[in-house]
Structure 1
Amino acid sequence: MTIEVTHEQLVVERSIPDARRRRWERKYRIVLLAADGLAAVAAALTIHAVYGRWTVALVLPPMWIVTMVAHRCYDRGALGRGSEEYVRVLRGAVALPALAACVHWLFTHDWGLLHDMITAAVPAAAFALPVRYALRRRLYRRWARGRDRSTTLLVGPSHSAAELLAALRRAGGVHELQVAGVCLSDPENAAGIRELGLPVVGGVGDIDDVVRALGVSTVVVLPAPEFDASVLRRMSWTAAVQDVDFLLAPVLADVSAPRLTVRPVNGVPLLRIQAPNLSPMSRLPKELLDRSLAAALLLFLALPMLLIALIVRLDSSGPALFRQQRVGRYGDHFTMLKFRTMRPDSEDLRAELEHLNQNSDGLLFKVREDPRVTRVGSFLRRSSLDELPQLINVVKGHMSLVGPRPPLPDEVEEYTPEVKRRLLVKPGLTGLWQVSGRSDLPWDEAVRLDLGYVDNWSMSLDLVILMRTGSAVVRGTGAY
């Protein structure tokens, strides 16, 4: 298996127009530069309105752009990457006062300008971040419509290609890669790839010709035993000659980027995967935020919750609250609260409805048009208002605002040792399972999401899930 890269090929390829380079990147950078400039101008005008000095309007915009460039806010690795992009902007905002101090001591010696520049860092970031969020959402919408995506070639064994394709399809098209074909290292399994709707365009030795023929801009190499260092090196040379991105898919999936670091050892780059950080000290800020925010929401929603409880009582006989034993962190049992959405004899009727179970592939019991659900209960489920009493569980410390779905004791008894990792954190009022489809998810996918949350937990991930929860509730996907 050889991939030849000759001098003549290098000359020919470099003479080809840069047709594959992603045009959206250039446009995105230009728009970001303009947006950052306008954010700096808006911040400067804010400072002028407060302190009445115009000099900051001349100095802040170029210094803000320089700070963003220094913190690589326009690099390809940050464009459209969400939290990574925001973190770089915030780092630039933190560094701006230091840059302003250097300019003050070396050139201006104007204490008023130094004060204004330091003060302007906060409004500049406050204006820049929402604009970047809006631009990122617009880019995601274009990706979902199949625009501005990178024509991608997968290289490797069929089972790895199928796994990556499944992961990309789970994202619903909201990603950059547009897979155009697969070069298989095991062509005898080509039929399985074609069944997934992907063309098999050759073998590993055909990468060079396929990249040229399809206008590929990204090559993704999948894990394969036969891909040793020399083979991967030659593939990367071919990608470099053709001026395309060369990506290596890790063997271990569902690992967040912040947990991955490269540690060079005697010239060999080794990939380090940081262990999940679930220590009590690291989760103390989450505990404080959960309980304080849940208490504030209970105070704010007290009257609406009383009204819902009254409506539930008037709609059907039985208590307003439904109490059920659930399993929390480390397997501890607790009583979970919800507004009652079913008839009082719902548990007795479950056996009669077993044949209607929508989640027959796993341990969950869900029926799309459950006859046990009351009229008011149907609305409460679609709107997720039935889960508001779980704020009491959060205040008591049984649950978290964000976490895996709280399981039933009989479900936990059927868990494999791998699935029991879900119990390392508190169950949540919302979570990846809720913002990704809830009851419409197959059991394996729900488990994958929960285990991914446990392994990759961070405060920023919690905040992202909380922000996505609102739109998930409005859509009502999987809420029945």
Structure 2
Amino acid sequence: MSPINSPVSVSVVDESSVSLASVDTPEVPHRSALTIRRVQRLLVAGDLVVIAMALLAGNVARFGFTDPVVAGSTQSVPLTYIPFSVVLGLVWWLLLNAMDAYREGILGTGTDEYQRLAEATFVVFGCVAIGAYLLKVDVSRGYFALVLPVGLAGLLVWRWTARKMLVAARRHGYLTRRTLVIGSSLTAGDMAREILRRPNLGMDLVGACVTDATSASTLSGTDVPVLRCLQADDVAVLRTAIEEAEAETVIITASPRLSSRKIRELSWSLDPEKTSMIVAPSVVDVAGPRLHARPVDGLSLIEVDFPQFQGGRRFLKRVFDIAVSVVAIIALTPVWLIVPLVIKADDRGPVFFRQTRVGLDGREFRMWKFRSMRPDAEQVLARLKNELEERDAGNVVMFKMRDDPRVTRVGRFLRASSIDELPQLFNVLGGSMSLVGPRPPLPREVETYEARVTRKFLVKPGITGLWQVNGRSALSWEESVRLDLSYAENWSMMLDIQILFRTAKVVLRRDGAY
């Protein structure tokens, strides 16, 4: 069973899964001696090594350097742990292949790669446990208690390390695929901007074919050239444009001129060894797990699940919030002792800052922070409002400034390091906030909201969220709204854990904090 998947695939990409983090794509050649096939082979070899090391560690830790017989095996063919481990390791690795854990499309982005590793691991050990029970074979519990967590943790760490190397290569222009976007000038431009913000996707945009009349030489807001303006959905013209651009990936975005029949004909005309096709659905800000392909008698449909805001998932989120906030509060004991002393020593003002914010279901609550501004900050804002707003960073609803004169000397450090946000852990423990969620707005901000924006109040506000890991204070109002609504529509425990890990990295780099 080969881990390398080369046939052409027509897949669906979720436009909302592309982050808003602004990163410039380096202008260096994308060709390199290091090909994606070599990366896949490296992953295969690495997985085999990790699995072998986990099985060896389990054998040595449990049995030393002896090779005992598995209790319950037949006397005619005694089963010892060494051949048992070899078979288990091969089955484990083969299942990784069967679950497409090496497919190019999942490498370097998203959580799908890690999920497949975990699913394959639990399936293997679950089947072994069931088989041992049915066959009345007594396999050492200590052996499994070591091999399972060590193997899974080793695979995840190895893949995480390999992903870092892969992303670094893509950011420098290597291991990318020449990509052509086809669609209306509006949808093609939106897709191009999102791809350019995520060089880790490995897509080198070489041009766009737009299906409506335009005199522009590049897509709006980008330097991606418009190679051809199509007045009709002509498959022959599209095929010629793809060949001229030497495109390895073709992304089809929404366009009234591109019918499903024409898209299907285009996919038939492509060389499966050279070009893959991705079809972007017209629905936006819907996470991948909520999209399900439903082929019905040859008709390809995409079903969109409605977001779930009640039940077991919300209970699990609350349990997670309580557990993590309690541990964090205890672990941060030195912060609760040192920071108040530093704030007091700076200007003798109060240690904490309390402010009314709007949370779940539009209810108001009092949010806590370490004070980072002058005690009379609100009065200064009222007195110098016009002058300060002229220096605003550009977000017309959320008042943010890069060099706010009201911030104290200590406050600048607290904000840059996000230490000022830590008292919100008590809000989380009390239930008015969550660890992860939309940004909690001020009541005066809510008064300016459009009806669509209030949908963010279907979930609790968070200490961190998509806004925190995609620009923080540097975001525009529209970007903030989009990220908050995207989280409210698509939240899950896996997304929360992913955001928490990304938050740690953003805080250490101090990105967008002021």
| Pair 1:200-2:226 in alignment | yes
Q: Quote the offset at 1:168 in angstroms.
A: 1.9
| Pair 1:329-2:360 in alignment | yes
Question: In structure 2, how many angstroms separate the alpha carbons of the residues matched to 1:114 and 1:372?
Answer: 62
- Structure-to-structure mapping, 1:429-444, within 5 angstroms: 429-444=463-478
Determine the structure 2 residue equivalent to 1:9: none
Q: Which amino acid aligns with 2:224?
A: L
- Structure-to-structure mapping, 1:299-448, within 5 angstroms: 299-351=330-382, 352=384, 353-448=387-482
Question: In structure 1, how many angstroms separate the alpha carbons of the residues matched to 2:267 and 2:380?
Answer: 61
Question: In structure 1, how many angstroms separate the alpha carbons of the residues matched to 2:268 and 2:216?
Answer: 26
Determine the structure 2 residue equivalent to 1:177: 203
Question: In structure 2, how many angstroms separate the alpha carbons of the residues matched to 1:184 and 1:143?
Answer: 27
Contact 1:152–1:178 (CA<8 Å) still a contact in 2?
yes
Determine the structure 1 residue equivalent to 2:155: 128
Question: In structure 2, how many angstroms separate the alpha carbons of the residues matched to 1:63 and 1:21?
Answer: 34
Determine the structure 2 residue equivalent to 1:69: 97
Contact 2:31–2:175 (CA<8 Å) still a contact in 1?
no
Over 3 Å counting, the alpha-carbon distance change for 1:361 and 1:323 in structure 2 is closer
Q: Quote the offset at 1:122 in angstroms.
A: 2.8
Question: In structure 2, how many angstroms separate the alpha carbons of the residues matched to 1:20 and 1:316?
Answer: 58
Determine the structure 2 residue equivalent to 1:88: 116
| Pair 1:48-2:59 in alignment | yes
Over 3 Å counting, the alpha-carbon distance change for 1:407 and 1:22 in structure 2 is farther
Determine the structure 2 residue equivalent to 1:211: 242
Q: Quote the offset at 1:267 in angstroms.
A: 2.3
Provide the secondary structure at the position in 1 that maps to 2:35.
helix
- When normalised by structure 2's length, the TM-score is 0.84
Residue of 30, 46, 59 corresponding to 1:35:
46
Q: Which runs of 5+ in 1 are unaligned?
A: 1-18
Provide the secondary structure at the position in 2 that maps to 1:360.
coil
Q: Quote the offset at 1:188 in angstroms.
A: 2.6
Q: Which has the higher contact order (CA 8 A, sep 6+)?
A: 2
Question: In structure 1, how many angstroms separate the alpha carbons of the residues matched to 2:106 and 2:443?
Answer: 43
Over 3 Å counting, the alpha-carbon distance change for 1:419 and 1:112 in structure 2 is closer
Q: Which amino acid aligns with 1:44?
A: L
Contact 1:82–1:136 (CA<8 Å) still a contact in 2?
no
Over 3 Å counting, the alpha-carbon distance change for 1:195 and 1:300 in structure 2 is closer
Q: Quote the offset at 1:320 in angstroms.
A: 0.3
| Pair 1:151-2:185 in alignment | no
Q: Quote the offset at 1:393 in angstroms.
A: 0.5
Question: In structure 1, how many angstroms separate the alpha carbons of the residues matched to 2:126 and 2:431?
Answer: 42
Question: In structure 1, how many angstroms separate the alpha carbons of the residues matched to 2:98 and 2:253?
Answer: 33
Aligned residues: 460
Over 3 Å counting, the alpha-carbon distance change for 1:198 and 1:235 in structure 2 is same
Q: How many percent of aligned residue pairs carry the same amino acid? A: 36
Q: Which amino acid aligns with 1:166?
A: R
Q: Quote the offset at 1:439 in angstroms.
A: 0.7
Contact 1:357–1:365 (CA<8 Å) still a contact in 2?
no
Q: Quote the offset at 1:43 in angstroms.
A: 0.8
61-70 or 88-97, which deviates more: 61-70
Over 3 Å counting, the alpha-carbon distance change for 1:267 and 1:208 in structure 2 is closer
Q: Which amino acid aligns with 1:170?
A: R
Question: In structure 2, how many angstroms separate the alpha carbons of the residues matched to 1:51 and 1:241?
Answer: 49
Q: Quote the offset at 1:22 in angstroms.
A: 11
Contact 2:189–2:221 (CA<8 Å) still a contact in 1?
no
Over 3 Å counting, the alpha-carbon distance change for 1:101 and 1:434 in structure 2 is closer
Contact 1:153–1:218 (CA<8 Å) still a contact in 2?
yes
Question: In structure 1, how many angstroms separate the alpha carbons of the residues matched to 2:446 and 2:403?
Answer: 26
Contact 1:142–1:148 (CA<8 Å) still a contact in 2?
yes
Provide the secondary structure at the position in 1 that maps to 2:104.
coil
| Pair 1:59-2:87 in alignment | yes
Over 3 Å counting, the alpha-carbon distance change for 1:116 and 1:183 in structure 2 is same
Contact 1:144–1:175 (CA<8 Å) still a contact in 2?
no
Contact 2:436–2:462 (CA<8 Å) still a contact in 1?
yes
Q: Which amino acid aligns with 2:466?
A: L
Q: Quote the offset at 1:359 in angstroms.
A: 3.9
Q: Which amino acid aligns with 2:168?
A: R
Contact 2:181–2:253 (CA<8 Å) still a contact in 1?
yes
Q: Which runs of 5+ in 2 are unaligned?
A: 1-29, 68-80
455-464 or 177-186, which deviates more: 177-186
| Pair 1:255-2:286 in alignment | yes
CA distances 1:369-403 after superposition (whole Å, capped 9, x unpaired): 11111111111011000111111111100100011
Contact 2:214–2:229 (CA<8 Å) still a contact in 1?
no
Over 3 Å counting, the alpha-carbon distance change for 1:329 and 1:195 in structure 2 is closer
Question: In structure 1, how many angstroms separate the alpha carbons of the residues matched to 2:302 and 2:339?
Answer: 52
Over 3 Å counting, the alpha-carbon distance change for 1:322 and 1:127 in structure 2 is same
Question: In structure 2, how many angstroms separate the alpha carbons of the residues matched to 1:119 and 1:345?
Answer: 58
Contact 1:356–1:367 (CA<8 Å) still a contact in 2?
no
| Pair 1:298-2:298 in alignment | no
Question: In structure 2, how many angstroms separate the alpha carbons of the residues matched to 1:302 and 1:242?
Answer: 59
Residue of 265, 271, 275 corresponding to 2:306:
275
Q: CA RMSD in A?
A: 2.6
Determine the structure 2 residue equivalent to 1:3: none
